[in-house]
Amino acid sequence: MDSFHYESVGLPSPSETVGKVITCKAAVAWSPGEPLVIEEIKVDPPQKMEVRIKILYTSICHTDLSAWQGENERQRSFPRILGHEASGVIESVGEEVEDLKRGDHVVPIFTGECGECAYCKSDKTNLCEKFRVNPFRSVMVSDGKTRFSTKEGKPIFHFLNTSTFTEYTVLDSACVVKIDSDAPLKKMTLLSCGVSTGVGAVWNTAKVQSGSTVAIFGLGAVGLAVAEAARGRGASKIIGVDINPNKFIKGKAMGITDFINPKEVVDVRLHQKIREMTGGGGVDYSFECVGNLDVLREAFSSTHDGWGLTVILGIHASPTLFPLHPMELFDGRRIVGTIFGDFKGKSQLPLLAHDCMCGKVNLDEFITHELPFEKINDAFRLLVDGKSLRCLIHL
Ligand code: APR
Ligand code: ZN
Ligand code: ZN
């Protein structure tokens, strides 16, 4: 029965690969902004507490774009295998891995959960002492080495604890979540980052209540996941803000009730417009899903004094600081950041997957394109041009 299961997802027999180096195809980023090169690489077997995964699907998130473009100096580790949204099946596990086994359907998570540190044991955070997301780390946590190399033996760096633009990847088991084998892996790919981040920001970070008003800045997959979750929570007004009006069509289907294109707001500041649209007071919650300081400032000023809450989801690569006078916080507006929507990945993602399968969160609208692995550079282009939400790459 097991062998049939493996074959159905294209796993080679254990004697071919387990404990051995695998030669497979990967999309390697050699330098900032240059097209990824699909080439044969070597992937080492998983070490203690690590897992090697055969990736079946991966997609591209804005964070991959930023790293590929080398937006942040300290992130420039090349050659590198990018990618962090994916799904796949375990090919083999390293010593002492007890909660995962060959054949398990899994989703990688860029911010891990070891389950044992003070952070993992606390219900106040989803950060982990050892495996929390670190965009500047490009090697394995356990030994500071890479598990990828070129055919000539040159090391290839890792990305965000995951590196999914490859047929096989090695991760710490703390960054691998087992998903019910009945769940469609294709859609589960979205839970690796974007959708979980947006949904969790609403459910866990803001705890949006029924009847409340919401403004979402940036209507990519992350912002639209916020919309989908806010709609599910019964928000009465969901204002979507984006400079690309094409996003408005999709946004409507995902619960957005009002749209603003900032380019068309000329006579007043954006936050004044939003306050006007909410009876003068401002929204109860605003979500920044762009990664732009000016946008963040508008998002902050758009909320209602006394109780307004701004949640930061966008990644701000710029070293410029956020302009906020401390006295402004006496007006009762709060601001908070969220990583992975405050979900503890290993323990809570299976529940979110279940909620998605039951229809509590609709994942269908997020996959706007699908392409074979060879066309991964076209998928980057679609995101750069604002044409896709998520382009699913089939490996
Ligand atoms: N004002 C409003 N919207 C903007 C602005 C702006 N100044 N600049 C860009 N946008 C919009 C884009 O038009 C796009 O629709 O923000 C959206 C960003 O969407 P994507 O590029 O698809 O990014 P996404 O994957 O959703 O990630 C959003 O969250 O996880 C982080 O690193 C990620 O910072 C990124 C953010
Ligand atoms: Zn992401
Ligand atoms: Zn931990």
Give pLDDT, residue 4. 40
Domain 2-192+363-394 part of CATH 3.90.180.10: yes
pLDDT digits (tens, 9 = 90+) for 42-91: 999 999 999 999 999 999 999 998 888 877 656 568 999 999 999 999 99
Q: How confident is the model at residue 136 (pLDDT cuts 50, 70, 90)?
A: confident
Q: What is the pLDDT averaged over residues 201-226?
A: 97
Q: Do domains 2-192+363-394 and 198-338 have the same CATH topology?
A: no
pLDDT digits (tens, 9 = 90+) for 330-371: 999 999 999 999 999 999 999 999 999 999 999 999 999 999
Percent of the chain with pLDDT over 90: 89
Single out the catalytic residue among 91, 128, 147, 356.
128
Specify the CATH class of 198-338 in words.
alpha beta
For atom 35 of ligand 1, which residue has the closest CA?
314
* Cβ-contact 12, 102 below 8 angstroms: no
Give pLDDT, residue 134. 87
pLDDT digits (tens, 9 = 90+) for 19-35: 999 999 999 999 999 99
Percent of the chain with pLDDT over 70: 96
**Distance from the alpha carbon of residue 117 to the mean position of ligand 3, in angstroms:** 4
Give pLDDT, residue 1. 35
Q: What is the pLDDT averaged over residues 229-245?
A: 96
Sign of CA dihedral 338, 342, 343, 344: positive
User: Which residues does 285 contact at the CB level (< 8 Å), separation at least 6?
Assistant: 206, 208, 212, 213, 214, 215, 230, 303, 308, 309, 310, 311
Give pLDDT, residue 72. 67
Q: Are strands 168-172 and 50-59 parallel, antiparallel or unpaired?
A: antiparallel
Q: How confident is the model at residue 196 (pLDDT cuts 50, 70, 90)?
A: very high
Sign of CA dihedral 184, 386, 165, 131: negative
Q: What is the pLDDT averaged over residues 114-121?
A: 97
Which protein residues have their CB within 5 A of the ion that is ligand 2? Answer: 61, 63, 193
Active site residue 84: yes
Give pLDDT, residue 10. 83
Of ligand 1's listed atoms, the one at least distance from the Cα of 221 is 26
User: Which residues does 281 contact at the CB level (< 8 Å), separation at least 6?
Assistant: 275, 304, 305
Q: How confident is the model at residue 253 (pLDDT cuts 50, 70, 90)?
A: confident
Distance CA 202, CA 198 (A): 7
Q: Which residue from 162, 222, 226, 388 has its CB within 8 A of the most atoms of ligand 1, so it is best to mutate?
A: 222
**Sheet containing 148-150: order of strands:** 22-28, 37-43, 148-150, 155-156
Give pLDDT, residue 81. 97
Of ligand 1's listed atoms, the one at least distance from the Cα of 66 is 32
Structural domain boundaries of the chain?
2-192+363-394, 198-338
Distance CA 297, CA 295 (A): 5
- Name which of 223, 9, 27, 381 is nearest 391 in CA terms: 381
Active site residue 85: yes
Q: Are strands 390-394 and 367-372 parallel, antiparallel or unpaired?
A: parallel
pLDDT digits (tens, 9 = 90+) for 256-311: 999 999 999 999 999 999 999 999 999 999 999 999 999 999 999 999 999 999 99
Strand partners, 169: 53
Q: How confident is the model at residue 8 (pLDDT cuts 50, 70, 90)?
A: low
> And the tokens for 358?
């039951």
Task: Give the Cα-Cα-Cα angle 343, 344, 348 (nearest 5 degrees).
Answer: 80
